[in-house]
Amino acid sequence: MKALIKKNPTNPPQWYQGLEIIDRDEPQVTPERPVKIATVSAGICGTDVGIYLGKDSLAIAMSKNKSENVILGHEFCGQITELHDSAKLFVATLLLRKKLVTPPVIAYVGSASPKELAERVDFVDFLNQHFYVSAEMHFTCKDCLQCRIGHEHVCKKTIGKGLHEDGAFTDFMILPADRLVLFEKGEVHPDIISFMDALGNAVHTAQSTDVVGKTILITGAGVQGLMSAAVARQLGANKIFITDVVPQDHVGVDKFSIAKKLGVDGVFDVGTEAGRMALAQTIAQETDNTGVDVVFEMSGNYRAYTSAFASVRMGGELLLLGLPAGKLEVDFTTDVVFKGLTIKGIYGRRIFDTWDLMRYLLAKGLEKTILDSGIITHRLPLAEFNTGFQALINGQAIKVLLKP
């Protein structure tokens, strides 16, 4: 099979730029990785772009890998093609826990028990024919304190699929059964399933506070910022403002136009003095000189932190998903303590309540909102990966899907 790989660094943080497609043997199911998935489509994530560019922090993280190279990709839509015998009962139980939607699936399941489903000779073929799947691609230990108290998303022994072991930018991959998320065909569009891992970051951010009736500032109109705007709007936010830096030549995707389609109330180019002044004036006018209730920091740009501290009200919240490089000097006394701020880092998705909330929101209209917005800018064959990565780097893309 063809696989898009990055050679692991041998002298971190020194690393090279780019990726390559090689031939690899198909993976085989095992008791530890008992589910074989055929990739339908996979999304390029910001982490993938960082690996493509040879980012120092990722070089250090991946230098500990035992293999010579890793197949990238952790956002995907796929189909089950094989189950190890050890996983059939678990997957059958997972199926019966799901609210079944389509008549063929309801008819097949009937009143069968998990054991009866697992023993059917056509069970895998049935799953392949009627279901798409995605998965939580953070594999956790289930034993550390975080896992035991319901904070599995910050397990200290997390293995990242597509980072520490082979991922989805290929024809087939193998997964643990307990990470699967099942979608009946027709339930959610496969293009959306292809980047639900990323959508989950935006949902996790929004579900980390009460957004109902709140005024929200989103710093960064990349894919995470835009999706978090759509989620916050659907969850009942009052006013939503979003900032970004528009290239001087105005070449690239019109992110602000997409933001408006997603229900954002105000867009601000903070790369200009006029844009920064307009942001401050709008927030003052809309909040009676109080400040926004919540800031979603999605850009990873340190200048956004300055804007966030200046814009948030006393007693407000800063939710941080963006990944800045290096260190930032903060006046904690003035900007945090005296303002009574709550600051929270957002990592990954809450397992699995974020996935459940995503499924609910998509069914209630979020799917159509995203598909109609233009967030998905490229759908490319895997062989044209360079086109997709360069489009993201150059600001010509928001979400790129690769299809083996």
More confident residue, 149 or 249: 149
Instruction: State the burial class of residue 404 (Cβ atoms within 10 Å of its Cβ: 0-12, 13-18, 19+).
Output: buried
pLDDT at 292 over 80: yes
Note every long-range contact of 333-342, with CB atoms under 8 Å and residues 24 or more positions apart, other chains counting.
335/309, 339/309, 339/312, 339/313, 339/314, 339/315, 340/314, 340/315, 341/312, 341/314, 341/315, 341/316, 341/317, 342/316, 342/317, 342/318
Domain boundaries, the chain: 2-194+374-403, 202-345
**What pLDDT was estimated at residue 198?**
92
Q: What is the mean pLDDT of the segment spanning 372-385?
A: 96
**What pLDDT was estimated at residue 64?**
86
CATH superfamily of 202-345: NAD(P)-binding Rossmann-like Domain (3.40.50.720)
pLDDT in tens, 323-341: 887 788 899 999 999 999 9
CB 105 within 8 Å of CB 114: no
**What pLDDT was estimated at residue 249?**
77
Q: What is the mean pLDDT of the segment spanning 263-287?
A: 96
Global confidence as pTM: 0.93
**What pLDDT was estimated at residue 248?**
80
Fold: same for 2-194+374-403 and 202-345: no
Q: Which of these, 93, 172, 181, lies nearest to 134 by C-alpha position?
A: 181
More confident residue, 247 or 71: 71
> Which CATH code is given to the segment(s) 2-194+374-403?
3.90.180.10
